[in-house]
Amino acid sequence: MRAAVLYNIRDLRLEDVSTPEFSTDEVLIKVNATGVCGTDIHIYRGEWKTSMPIILGHEFSGVIVETGRDVKNLKIGDPVVAEPNILCGSCYFCRMSERNYFCENLKATGVTINGAFAEYVKTKAENVYKVTEGFNLDEAALIEPLACCVRGIDQAKVRTGDTVAIVGAGPIGLILLQLVKLAGASMVIQTDMEDARLKLARDLGADHTINVAEEDPVEAIKRLTGGYGVDVAIEAVGSPKAITQAMKATRRGGRLNIFGVSPEDAVWEVKPFELYEKELTITTSYRSPFTFQRAVKIALSGKVKLKPLISHIFRLEEIHRAFEVAEKRLEGAVKVLVKP
């Protein structure tokens, strides 16, 4: 099969490789589309370490073409998405009553093991979720980031009536925006550096948008909230500067969720006194622990719009261009998909 194999930092090669061999509890999926995620870009740039060579791509949709002998609940032809994170089920964290994704033997399709920038991908049947026949499979490739955002909303504890600021209007920020609206926020303020993304945010329901290249987002958010700041701020950029903006835009006693993934060696400088004085509740959000099922239900309900987030679709042969467009946010890039 054709696949994009990452050999080293920025050394991505299109190659013919053998189709993945699957075991009795796994399925083989013919890939329909795979999203280019910030995580892919981090790994591509060497900001996130993983073992190479590897086929990246963890946000994918497709159709089942083979099933292992022990697979009962899925059949050939099923349109599916898959949770990339694979837990061992027996380590210290996996055996805690509240299972999270701190599995000591965690594997992730397209991050630590071969993923979906390829014609085929294999995974465990227990990680697979069916989508309804006829649901747009390109949009289904965004269910993985949606599942991560569901976790973010759980962590941020958004309540009905809250005022919320979302720092960043990339694919994640724009999904978070819609989930925050569904949760009943009374006002959502979204920030970004690009007007096209802010326009999309307004189209998707943001009450106010702020271009951080033109005005101080903290002052603007305070002005919109009677000088207090928002009840909840969610950082969806992955940079210390954005975290600081989100923190300063949160009211006293408010909640800050640091959702974005900063580069591994980035450092957030903060005055502890400022945190003390505000009595902030700070949470982070790690992957999508058991939120996939809810994400599939929300996507199928149509209550979160995924299609407007897809700005580019490339063929697998154009993977280098796809990564360039996603990395440099060329041509108004939001979510870039790759189709084999």
Rule CB under 5 A: which residues touch Zn ion?
Answer: 37, 39, 59, 88, 91, 94, 103, 105
Taking the complex as a whole, how short is the minimal distance between the CB of residue 55 and Zn ion, in angstroms?
15
Strand partners, 232: 164, 255
Q: Give the residue with the Cβ less far from Zn ion, 108 or 187.
A: 108
Taking the complex as a whole, how short is the minimal distance between the CB of residue 108 and Zn ion, in angstroms?
10
SS3 content of the chain, % helix, strand, coil (to 5): 30, 30, 40
Question: Helix axis angle, 319-328 relative to 38-45, nearest 10°?
Answer: 100
Q: Give the residue with the Cβ less far from Zn ion, 146 or 249.
A: 146
Q: Give the residue with the Cβ less far from Zn ion, 94 or 187.
A: 94
Q: E strands of 200-326, at which residues? A: 208-211, 230-235, 250-258, 281-284, 310-315
Taking the complex as a whole, how short is the minimal distance between the CB of residue 87 and Zn ion, in angstroms?
5
Q: How far is CA 181 from the centre of its chain?
A: 18
Q: Give the residue with the Cβ less far from Zn ion, 102 or 228.
A: 102
Q: Which secondary-structure segment (H or E) carries 259?
A: none
Taking the complex as a whole, how short is the minimal distance between the CB of residue 90 and Zn ion, in angstroms?
6
Q: Give the residue with the Cβ less far from Zn ion, 46 or 89.
A: 89
Taking the complex as a whole, how short is the minimal distance between the CB of residue 323 and Zn ion, in angstroms?
14
The residue length of the chain stands at 340
Q: How many CB atoms lie within 10 A of CB 47?
A: 18
Taking the complex as a whole, how short is the minimal distance between the CB of residue 197 and Zn ion, in angstroms?
18
Quote the tokens at residue 282: 């700070």
d(CA 339, CA 35): 9
Q: Give the residue with the Cβ less far from Zn ion, 8 or 105.
A: 105
Q: Are 130 and 151 in contact (CB under 8 A)?
A: no
In the sheet where 163-167 sits, what is the strand order?
208-211, 187-192, 163-167, 230-235, 250-258, 281-284
Residue in 21, 99, 19, 31 with CA at minimum distance from that of residue 59: 31
Taking the complex as a whole, how short is the minimal distance between the CB of residue 103 and Zn ion, in angstroms?
3
d(CA 147, CA 159): 19
Taking the complex as a whole, how short is the minimal distance between the CB of residue 89 and Zn ion, in angstroms?
6
Quote the tokens at residue 6: 């990452």
Q: Give the residue with the Cβ less far from Zn ion, 73 or 105.
A: 105
Q: Give the residue with the Cβ less far from Zn ion, 185 or 292.
A: 292
Q: Give the residue with the Cβ less far from Zn ion, 36 or 137.
A: 36
Q: How far is CA 319 from the centre of its chain?
A: 19
d(CA 255, CA 280): 6
Taking the complex as a whole, how short is the minimal distance between the CB of residue 93 and Zn ion, in angstroms?
6
d(CA 323, CA 306): 20
Question: Helix axis angle, 143-156 relative to 171-182, nearest 10°?
Answer: 60
